[in-house]
Structure 1
């Protein structure tokens, strides 16, 4: 998946990240509907448009530009004004997302006033703080340009802060490590593929996401089954590891996992699991 496709994925799936990136409240995403629109006359397709739900809000044109294109601004403004011609005049803003200034076109003759007008916001991802210092969902954009050698660490940090964005974080790593299998990448993130899918299907997991309680449960899982869900657990588990697994059983029950499945995944006797009292 190319980087511009990942940006589209992020804009569509996590619009709150876009509004955090441009300095607005993440909750402002509720005031907009995201669309990808084709300009019919020239067969252009804009990366994304945030359509306002309220009449006084501005329309946002969004373009991700990750390579040098000396005709970029000519194309961008042509798309904007043809769109306004086709769909009606509206107050508008344009946001261009660059990985760095090095890929920005210097061919801006005739467009200087538009670029200086405040209608166009240019964002350079390499000038954002490091992932760990970005305090909101805008950190997801920063992951797009994270060097391969530090991307796994950054991805794990983001999973800790935004576990509900696991799909996007995985997609970024799939692109950065295209030579690895999905299973290998999930292992790098300390995610057990089958176990992850089972948890995501449970009603309790969805409720936890909605209520913002995932952090507490995640901490319990981290303490109790960090070693337990890995494949190929060797015989002769140490007493401390066994204690951690047993402490994790109540949390897994809350997520809707059966005692039989818990015993299988944690490599515990079923009788030992059933001996733990229900909450």
Structure 2
């Protein structure tokens, strides 16, 4: 499952969570979060925290989120960084922060050997989320980060605790709804086969009815279709309620710039099937 899109949203909404992870919580006010594209090589970084007002004493933090083992990750990451440095000539020092769900997704010692000088220096910080300790006074954003690697059985009580924090800490209704919607998105990434009833019970709040995915599932009959499928002994998942609803959801997600791989994960189809549906719709639009 690709999660870079989720982390991009997370760091935009909760920038303090990143600085808590790297042990520099007091720096958050000095930075802005942005996406960086290295056009020469068609690279796009998962994100970067850039010092506000181009402060020279504050380092640039380049972020890479990797939830699957990838033998090219360090070759790609360092290529992106050095091309960026050559293109922009920043005056600040820099640090790369690589976020893994667990240590097992990182390289073995032998595979990482060519990059050892940088990996063993203070230029790179590797974070393993399942080893991340969450202090009692941590931010809401950091707790949502931990939710991404929580065991499935621990998701309901964790969500309940998060929702209670949102109800207590959010300053207005719009902010409350936005945070709950993001938590819901994380839950649906982790547990895409949840029924509408299971999702509602987990959140136990009327605010869930206002979130984007809950509205779409209700309007398009996706959650109802899944419940009917289970009754008939099927196991197609949330997005399998009907072919028409399935196609509609795929196109909506695609138009919102969701990567094809993430759409396939959400609707429980192969990447090839999703690409075929998108291509078919494009052909229909051209012929009409």
- TM (normalized to structure 2)? 0.62
SS at match of 1:56: coil
Match of 2:40 in 1: 41
Q: How far off is 1:50 after superposition? A: 0.4
Q: Distance in 1 between matches of 2:209 and 2:102?
A: 38
Q: Which moved more, 1:50-59 or 1:169-178?
A: 169-178
Match of 1:88 in 2: 89
Q: Distance in 2 between matches of 1:14 and 1:33?
A: 11
Matched, 1:175 2:179: no
Contact kept? 1:34, 1:48, Cα under 8 Å: yes
Q: In the TM superposition, what are the counterparts of 1:187-266 in structure 2 within 5 Å?
A: 187-193=201-207
Contact kept? 2:160, 2:203, Cα under 8 Å: yes
Match of 1:102 in 2: 104
Q: Distance in 2 between matches of 1:7 and 1:87?
A: 25
Unaligned stretches of 5+ residues in structure 2:
171-178, 212-288
Match of 1:136 in 2: 138
Q: Distance in 1 between matches of 2:122 and 2:93?
A: 12
SS at match of 2:64: strand
Q: How far off is 1:12 after superposition? A: 1.3
Unaligned stretches of 5+ residues in structure 1:
198-279
Contact kept? 2:101, 2:149, Cα under 8 Å: yes
Once superposed, what is the RMSD of the aligned Cα atoms? 2.1
**Following TM superposition, where does structure 1 have runs of at least 4 consecutive aligned residues deviating by more than 4 angstroms?**
181-184, 194-197
Cα deviation code 1:227-253 (max 9, x no counterpart) = xxxxxxxxxxxxxxxxxxxxxxxxxxx
SS at match of 2:24: coil
Match of 1:79 in 2: 80
Match of 1:111 in 2: 115
Q: How far off is 1:193 after superposition? A: 3.7
Q: Which moved more, 1:55-64 or 1:167-176?
A: 167-176
Count of aligned pairs between the two proteins: 194
Q: Structure 1's 127 and 154: CA in aligned 2 closer, same or farther, altered over 3 A?
A: same
Q: How far off is 1:195 after superposition? A: 7.3
Match of 1:156 in 2: 160
Q: Distance in 2 between matches of 1:195 and 1:151?
A: 19
Cα deviation code 1:133-156 (max 9, x no counterpart) = 553122221110111111111111
Q: Structure 1's 74 and 176: CA in aligned 2 closer, same or farther, altered over 3 A?
A: same
Q: Distance in 1 between matches of 2:208 and 2:189?
A: 21
Q: Distance in 2 between matches of 1:172 and 1:66?
A: 14
Q: Distance in 1 between matches of 2:97 and 2:202?
A: 34
Q: Distance in 1 between matches of 2:87 and 2:99?
A: 25
Which one has a larger percent helix, Structure 1 or Structure 2?
2
Structure with larger Rg: 1
Q: Structure 1's 61 and 120: CA in aligned 2 closer, same or farther, altered over 3 A?
A: same
Q: Distance in 1 between matches of 2:209 and 2:185?
A: 19
